[in-house]
Structure 1
Amino acid sequence: MVKHTEPDQALIKMPSLRAVKAFVAAAKYQSFTRAAEALCVTQAAISRQIRELEEHLGAALFNRAGRTVELTAAGAIFFDAVQLSFTNISQAADRIRSSENPKQVVTLCCSSAFANFWLGPRLPAFFEAYPEIDINLVVTQNFLVMENGVNPDIIICKIAKTHEGYHSQPLVCDVIYPVCTPQYLEQHPQLRSLTGIRDGALLNLSPFGRSQIAEHVDWGVWFAYQSIDIKTRASDAPHYFNSNDYNLLIQLALAHQGVALGWNYLVEPYLQKGLLVRPVAEQLVHRETRHYLSFNEAKSRDLSCCLLRDWLLEQFASDRPGEFIEANA
């Protein structure tokens, strides 16, 4: 005789986990729109799932007020309970994944320019040397306020003290000079003088979105360091292109569209390959402004984190020994 299992009323009465996840996201961001973006679904889906959850519970969970939502008393009670449960589930899943995956993941945080020009070309060598380590790369310009869930093991930026619990050490100081392609310089020989560069097509790094940077150098600052006022630029000079995306500026320079300011540790490989040249010898050296590597002290015994940190330091020391030694003196 087959023995049937009695219905599990506790499981039957449980609300949909998908609906609960939508509720947690909406409560966390106080917005159905932001909750939808966080979960990669539509706002309509979030609204529908929360409405079904409210019907299941027989209570309103949110007070709708325009584009924002606020938890009701019932919603606050439910959020406290499910948030703790979801945290426990997430941590258990992470432990299982870690035990099943022999690779160790290290989270590295840096700027887009550093990722593209310095780190990217060197990563294949790291992957080959340390196949057991996976890198989770987070690109940002906002180093003081990280996105939720982002807890970097290593941060590389121009700020010595980003967060509590990190040990920072200097890497290099900034050395900044004009760069363009050899073809562009040949077509515009006047660029071999500072006034010629001033009156030429300039690709300028604007300060927008760069409030986390310790200092900002654009063409105005650079020329002022050379005792030249950018405001004396010829009225009939060609374009003065502004962008806060350094990657785009270098791509335009490589496409023969003008002269950009080159940060030495980023553009030196292009000079070595002959893709870019320095039309003049003048440069700006910011000895008091340095780039730092900040290491999460809680990971001081994590072998993978230490290996990536040491590898990064070795790369800086070997590529720019003079600047690195000077910066660490």
Structure 2
Amino acid sequence: MVKHTEPDQTLIKMPSLRAVKAFVAAARYQNFTRAAEALCVTQAAISRQIRDLELHLGAELFNRAGRAVELTPAGSIFYDAVQLSFTNIAQAAERIRHTESPKQQVTLCCSPAFANFWLGPKLPSFFEAYPEIDLSIVVTQNFLTMENGVTPDILICKMAKSGEGYFSQPLVCDVIYPVCTPQYLEQHPQISSLEGLRDTALLNLSPFGRSQVAEHVDWKVWFAYQDIDLNCRAVEAPLLFNANDFSLLLQLAQNHQGVALGWHYLVAPLVEKGLLVRPVQETLVHRDTLHYLSVAEAKARDASCCKVRDWLTDQFDWSLHEDIDADTQA
């Protein structure tokens, strides 16, 4: 006797995926015509699909106001759910496509400063050594709340735990010292002392808009570590310039606009080349503030991901640690 499968009510009650796709496009562009262009269909088809979807759900999803449309409260709830689902479907399909490709994809997430000053100069050697790997870089300041659909294979940040499903290993601690150009030091020889440094043009890294997962170090903190009160700056001292973008501050420093705090693992190559110098030898070493390399547990045995991980750890050569030890012993 043939056993009949009971009807799957969940699947039966699901709305048409074609209609949901039309809804997502219309919600994203807030315009039925632009949604139609994005999906290569007619505007009438979009309108019909959304009307059928609204009938199926028994709720208005859009407020129509001429050519522009906006989501209703019900539409917003539905959009939040289906957008994430569609993103997951698209990513899964992309992974399946690439399993048949000779190239393997690895996604690395890091901060803008790390990408610009540490990773960028080293990438040509990676491309040459591993032509079989397609490396994708995702740059962010906020590692606590990633955008929907962003699931990095590898992260480099100050978080020992980058979320569920990651293995972490320490890379390097924070070693911070002032840097400026040789020209700026020649024009302002007084900055060779801490008091003279305090009274010069200072390029300050502010915490605003940055995802703080460790102690923030700015000029006030750095000087306090040296027993210098930044509030005692001379009346005629230039104003402090504040920005929450380290790349901008270092660019200004290289353009002879003042002195910035430099993180050793980022600025050491510039110092070695003579593009920047250290006006004073005092250093702040945070041995408890570490940068970590985290690998997704699901990719722990993936050959391409392991190659990228090993390459990154090799690039953090131990000369960095030797320099740190020399600084702390001086």
Q: TM-score range by the shorter chain?
A: 0.7 to 0.9
1:96 aligns with 2:93: no
* Residues 268 and 300 (structure 1), Cα distance of their counterparts in 2 relative to 1, 3 Å cut: same
Q: Which residue of 2 aligns with 1:183?
A: 183
Q: What does residue range 184-223 of structure 1 map to in structure 2 within 5 Å?
A: 184-223=184-223
**Aligned to 1:292, what secondary structure does the other structure show?**
strand
Matches of 2:307 and 2:206, distance apart in 1: 36
Asked if the contact 1:108/1:154 (under 8 Å) is kept, the reply is yes
Q: Which residue of 2 aligns with 1:312?
A: 312
Asked if the contact 1:198/1:230 (under 8 Å) is kept, the reply is yes
Matches of 1:198 and 1:92, distance apart in 2: 56
Find 1:70's aligned residue among 70, 73, 90.
73
Q: Which residue of 2 aligns with 1:249?
A: 249
**Deviation per residue, 1:284-329 (Å, 9 max, x gap):** 0001111111111111110000010011111113452437999xxx
Q: Which residue of 2 aligns with 1:156?
A: 156
> 1:242 Cα deviation (Å)?
0.4
Matches of 1:182 and 1:85, distance apart in 2: 54
> 1:185 Cα deviation (Å)?
0.4
**5+ residue gaps in structure 2?**
1-14, 37-42
Q: Which residue of 2 aligns with 1:113?
A: 113
Find 1:45's aligned residue among 18, 34, 59.
34
Matches of 1:270 and 1:133, distance apart in 2: 29
Matches of 1:200 and 1:94, distance apart in 2: 53
Matches of 1:271 and 1:222, distance apart in 2: 19
Asked if the contact 1:317/1:324 (under 8 Å) is kept, the reply is no
Q: What does residue range 24-43 of structure 1 map to in structure 2 within 5 Å?
A: 24=24, 32=27, 35-36=28-29
| Count of aligned pairs between the two proteins | 297
**Aligned to 2:168, what secondary structure does the other structure show?**
strand
Q: Which residue of 1 aligns with 2:224?
A: 224
Asked if the contact 1:106/1:153 (under 8 Å) is kept, the reply is yes
* Residues 15 and 166 (structure 1), Cα distance of their counterparts in 2 relative to 1, 3 Å cut: closer
**Aligned to 2:73, what secondary structure does the other structure show?**
strand
Matches of 2:83 and 2:232, distance apart in 1: 64
* Residues 277 and 54 (structure 1), Cα distance of their counterparts in 2 relative to 1, 3 Å cut: same
Asked if the contact 1:179/1:260 (under 8 Å) is kept, the reply is yes
**Aligned to 1:155, what secondary structure does the other structure show?**
strand
Matches of 2:258 and 2:86, distance apart in 1: 57
Matches of 2:213 and 2:229, distance apart in 1: 24
**Aligned to 1:71, what secondary structure does the other structure show?**
helix
Asked if the contact 2:144/2:211 (under 8 Å) is kept, the reply is no
Query: Which amino acid is 2:121 matched to?
Result: P
1:54 aligns with 2:50: yes
> 1:235 Cα deviation (Å)?
1.7
**Aligned to 2:317, what secondary structure does the other structure show?**
helix
TM-score w.r.t. length of structure 1: 0.80
**Aligned to 1:220, what secondary structure does the other structure show?**
helix
> 1:89 Cα deviation (Å)?
6.7
TM-score w.r.t. length of structure 2: 0.80
Matches of 1:44 and 1:236, distance apart in 2: 60
Q: Which residue of 2 aligns with 1:173?
A: 173
* Residues 90 and 297 (structure 1), Cα distance of their counterparts in 2 relative to 1, 3 Å cut: closer
Asked if the contact 1:143/1:212 (under 8 Å) is kept, the reply is no
**Deviation per residue, 1:78-129 (Å, 9 max, x gap):** 9989987886576345423431x21101010110000000011111111111
* Residues 145 and 15 (structure 1), Cα distance of their counterparts in 2 relative to 1, 3 Å cut: closer
- Percent identity among equivalent residues? 59
Asked if the contact 1:173/1:323 (under 8 Å) is kept, the reply is no
Q: Which moved more, 1:210-219 or 1:130-139?
A: 210-219
Q: Which residue of 1 aligns with 2:236?
A: 236
Asked if the contact 1:203/1:258 (under 8 Å) is kept, the reply is yes
Matches of 1:79 and 1:239, distance apart in 2: 45
* Residues 214 and 85 (structure 1), Cα distance of their counterparts in 2 relative to 1, 3 Å cut: closer
Asked if the contact 1:172/1:323 (under 8 Å) is kept, the reply is no
Query: Which amino acid is 2:170 matched to?
Result: P
**5+ residue gaps in structure 1?**
1-13, 27-31
